[in-house]
Structure 1
Amino acid sequence: MGIDVGTFETKGVLVGVDGVVHARARRRHGISTPRQGYVEQDAELVWWSDFAAVSSELASAAAALDGVVAAVGCSAIGPCVLPVDTDLKPLRPGILYGIDTRASREIGDLESRLGLKEIVRRSGNTLTSQSAGPKIAWIAQNEPRIAATTRCYLSAHGYLVARLTGRATMDHGTAGYFHPLYDLDRQCWDTTGCEDIVRDEQLPELGWATDVAGTVTGEASVLTGLPTGTPVIFGAVDAPAEAVGASVVNPGDLMLMYGSSTYMIKVTEAPLRGEVLWSAPYVFPGTFVLAAGTSTAGTLTRWAGDVLEPDRAVNDEELFAGLLTLAEGSPPGARGLLLLPHFSGERTPVHDPASRGALIGLSLEHGRSDIARAIMEGVAHSIAHAFSAYASAGETPERVIAVGGGTKNRIFTQSVSDITGASQTVAVTDGAALGDAALAAFAIGRLEDRDRIKEWVELGQSIEADTARSVVLCADHEDYRELYRSLKDLNARRTERLHGE
């Protein structure tokens, strides 16, 4: 069984050892934004409630098939920060990954305290909104009572594993984003210089995603339908699990995940230190990733649907299909409109939480179709901008696999190839949930080696750059980069003035 808790939806699958999916289940949920830059979810009411419901449904399906759940793998959004008490109960809502930008001041404080050179030496990365360490520092600074009573800081899937097994664990891949608290070379916690923020004993036991963390307890069995004693693996953040579920398992492979935000993972044989791409261990011992991410993708098209199609009382699939049809009424280049899609700041390659969205080129001749097209192409420009960081680092991918709900958006995928020149192959897969199940099968020896995981994944259409569209969109991409540079200082001043930071 594999279950993934995403930003807006939880999905689960029941998979045979041959890779055939026998049952699926899902639940919808939302996020909480108590103030600008803060993005949270309730660990009990969202993460665990969804997991228990999906697991119960899949366990019933297994029983109907006269089958036994041999092992469980789970993944979730991350890196998140969730303080729990001695009973592993949450002390506050979970603080989400890089889309939560509350810890900007703490990033500066940690850089002053440790020095940029030491942070990069230790963590392999600079500090950004994707870093969990500054968010722990934010709790210590702003919620000292919670910090003082925290038994352990978990990530989202770590909380699920804790509820299932009673153990506080974290995989190395997730810990690699808890900079500056994780030593990338030694692959262990290192809180040197941060002892007043977090104690060593407040960080979870480390292991690999494919290690068995424990077995399902009697209490968890009642709530999830899983048999007592079922092995549970350490698991991973959703993006690595998604990569596994897309057959991205060998060095040179890159996953491009079109989701609520966009995330990229390139598998490498060694870590690469730098200030732009994130380096961390992968799910298998001896493998690493170079990762990149944007702040908006699906979240922006959802916003666009609400604004441009406010009277359409339809489900998400119909809303996005209608928005795509609307956008296709405008030609490539959106008749001169250009969008900076930094509605929640931006991550790779600029790492600028103060950046904000902008739409330029408007005239009285433009209509809803042009605006819709500009929004989708703006997302593609941000993806291409992040993708370019790999070539800048000398790490151009050998194979690009596209996954996620956004692959259904033809403008997204085609525009990215047109701007970057990269070919993409779309994986027909159940995504992170399938990856979770594959990692669980690998952990208990049902898959002998990681190459066998590729047999579980179907590869679909290939997307190639179109010469005519490339001419238009590559010219726009240069303007996109210039637009960001032109607005950077203005956005920083306005953000400071609006929020007093």
Structure 2
Amino acid sequence: MTRYLLGVDVGTFETKGVLVDVDGAVRAEARVRHELSTPRPGHVEHDADAVWWHDLVEVAGALMPHLAEGDELIGVGCSAIGPCVLPVDEELRPLRPGILYGVDTRAAAEIELLEQRLSAPEIARRSGNALTSQSAGPKILWIERNEPEIAARTRWYLTSQSYLVARLTGEVVIDHATAGYFHPCYDLASGRWDTAGIDDLFREHTLPPIAWSSGIAGAVTADAAAETGIPVGTPVIVGTTDAVAEAVGASVRAVGDLMLMYGSSGYAILVTETPTADPVLWSAPFALPGRFVAAAGTSTLGTATRWIADQLGLDEDDGDAALFGRLMQLVRSSPPGANGVLHLPHFSGERTPWHDPDARAAFTGIGLATGRADLARAVVEGVGHSVALALSRLLAAAEGEARVVAIGGATRNEVITGVVGDVTGCTQQIAATLGASYGDAMLAAIAVGARTEEQVAGWVTFEEPVVAASDTAAVRAAHERYQSTYRALRAATAHDEESRR
């Protein structure tokens, strides 16, 4: 008899699942692609049932037949993009599509209202963060103000993985690591909800009970078992966001460990002993008790490379690997620096360090001699500069030298990782892991007592690291131009806005 753990992660464009034995060996994996919805500028959503639950059912259905007679599934872990905001009724039925994490920038007016009501210093004191598009609280308030008929029917405001856990177990719970992004409603020092001073704007009873990610939320119900094929009674952990699960899945768990995720967007978290006081970083509890994280993120990473590949007509319906192979072949035919072309990949605003939801993508330095390869390389290098800028701010918050572990599909893109390494000077260890779904299985192993935290960290192996080049002057000069170009465009936009008033 073999004991197994199931990990399922719902990402921005894809859901992944793994079946892992208690020694960390992956016995089976499954993937399902999906799309996101952008009904209006700045609004980015997923249908909770058609995407989140549908994908979990599909992935579980593909993996459960790999259990042989006598095998036992001892735990299930779920993670998903976040923080998201999903209002559900008393029966746990979604009342509208889920509002996604920091790529959704709809709640700028609500951020301003909350800052007027509480003041920025009080928000920072309470939640350890400034309010940005990554904050879930303003998005809850957006629903309360703009969709009152939905707000009136809302029993709970869930996030993505808490909805999956609720569908599997019937239990409502959210993890500390995600609740920590529901600012300004989460008190970072006490680890509790706190709506003092804004209780006329937020109904605290609609915020879920909070627990640690590696705790047991409940057991799979008969109804969920019938839909998913997961055995009735299987323990389900509280779970967490994809980025935190990615960190666990890359063996990032000790103070000073830093996970750099190259995904559809960029995200990095540094494990710290205490909350970090930096107005442009996010601070929250870690998945495991006794630790915190400082986090930074970019709005666009892999999404930008997909965009340029589509614009250049590189998609031939033969799969993502072939598509990005063609893109990188084109990129390599342009020299470093893209013959003077610079790109700012701010398709959905930008997060760390500017937190500017109104930022937009731009090219500079285009001339009559500019070719397709230059445009392709400029986009890929621009993504590298975006990530490097966010990572630099996070590295500055580290006490001592951080251990940087890189994960995600773009770790195989030597141009992006090269720019990041050359700008920051850090060495990036490349974790050979299946990502967040693997981290979910690791958390489940800890939760059910099958393995210790130290034992599951030992499951992870590493590839050849990315080391900064010896001569980085040209790359760092381009990085300075990247920042000055953003500032100039921001100033020009602000001037235009002022002129229109």
Q: Under a length normalisation based on structure 1, what TM-score does the superposition of the two structures give?
A: 0.97
1:489 deviates by: 3.0
C-alpha distance in 2, partners of 1:311/1:260? 17
The residue that corresponds to 1:294 in the other structure is: 298
Secondary structure in structure 1 of the residue aligned to 2:190: coil
Query: What's the CA shift for 1:388?
Result: 1.4
Alignment deviations for residues 134-157 of structure 1 (CA, whole Å, 9 cap, x no partner): 000100110011111100000000
Q: Is 1:324 matched with 2:328?
A: yes
Matches for 1:97-496 after TM superposition, within 5 Å: 97-309=101-313, 312-393=316-397, 395=399, 397-448=401-452, 450-468=453-471, 470-492=472-494
Report the Cα distance in structure 2 between the residues aligned to 1:155 and 1:494, rounded to whole angstroms: 37
Hey, what does 1:2 align to over in structure 2?
7
The separation in 1 between residues aligned to 2:149 and 2:495, in whole angstroms, is 33
Cα 1:57/1:392, change in 2 over 3 Å: same
Q: CA deviation at 1:423?
A: 0.4
Say if 1:88 and 1:492 are closer, same or farther in 2 by CA, change over 3 A: farther
Q: Which amino acid aligns with 2:485?
A: L
Corresponding residue SS for 2:449 = coil
CA distance in structure 1 between the aligned counterparts of 2:401 and 2:136, rounded to whole angstroms:
27
Which of 74, 79, 100 does residue 70 from structure 1 map onto? 74
Q: Deviations over 1:399-446 (max 9, x none)?
A: 101101111211111111011111001111110000000000000111
1:28 maps to what in 2?
Answer: 33
Report the Cα distance in structure 1 between the residues aligned to 2:76 and 2:406, rounded to whole angstroms: 25
Q: How much does 1:496 deviate?
A: 9.6
Q: 1:493 to 1:146 in 2, by over 3 A?
A: farther
**1:485 maps to amino acid:** R
Moved over 6 A (4+): 493-498
Displacement of 1:57 after TM fit? 1.6
| 1:291 counterpart SS class | strand
In the TM superposition, residue 392 of structure 1 has moved relative to its aligned partner by 3.7
Corresponding residue of 2:61? 56
| Structure 1 unaligned spans of 5+ | none
What's the CA shift for 1:393? 3.3
Q: Deviations over 1:74-94 (max 9, x none)?
A: 000000000000000000000
| Unaligned stretches of 5+ residues in structure 2 | 1-5
Q: Partners of 1:381 and 1:389 in 2: how far apart? A: 13
Residue type matched to 1:337 in 2?
V
Q: 1:389 to 1:306 in 2, by over 3 A?
A: same
Q: In 2, distance between residues paired with 1:171 and 1:491? A: 39
| Residue type of the alignment partner of 1:155 | T
2 CA distance for matches of 1:166 and 1:295? 33
Deviations 1:212-271 (A, max 9, x none): 000001100101111111100000000000000001011101010000000001111111
Cα deviations by residue, 1:445-480 (Å, 9 ceiling, x for unpaired): 1112x2212221111111111123x12110001111
Alpha-carbon separation, structure 1, partners of 2:498 and 2:160: 31
Q: Is the 8 A contact 1:176 1:184 kept in 2?
A: yes
Give the Å deviation of 1:491: 3.4
Amino acid in structure 2 at the alignment position of 1:22: R
Over the aligned positions, Cα root-mean-square deviation in angstroms equals: 1.6
User: Which of the numbers 27, 38, 45 marks the counterpart of 1:40?
Assistant: 45
Q: Is the 8 A contact 1:390 1:396 kept in 2?
A: no
Distance 2:409 2:499 in 1: 37
Cα deviation 1:46-74 (Å, max 9, x = unaligned): 00000011112211112x36421100000
TM-superposition CA deviations, 1:342-384 (whole Å, max 9, x none): 1110000110001111111111111111111110000000111
8 Å Cα contact 2:309/2:315 also seen in 1: no
Letter in 1 for 2:55: D
Tell me which amino acid in the other structure corresponds to 2:457.
Answer: K
Q: For the Cα contact (< 8 Å) 1:136–1:197, is it kept in 2?
A: no
Report what 2:3 is aligned to. none
TM-score, structure 2 as length reference: 0.97
Cα distance in 1, alignment partners of residues 420 and 351 from structure 2:
17
Correspondence 1:14 to 2:19? yes
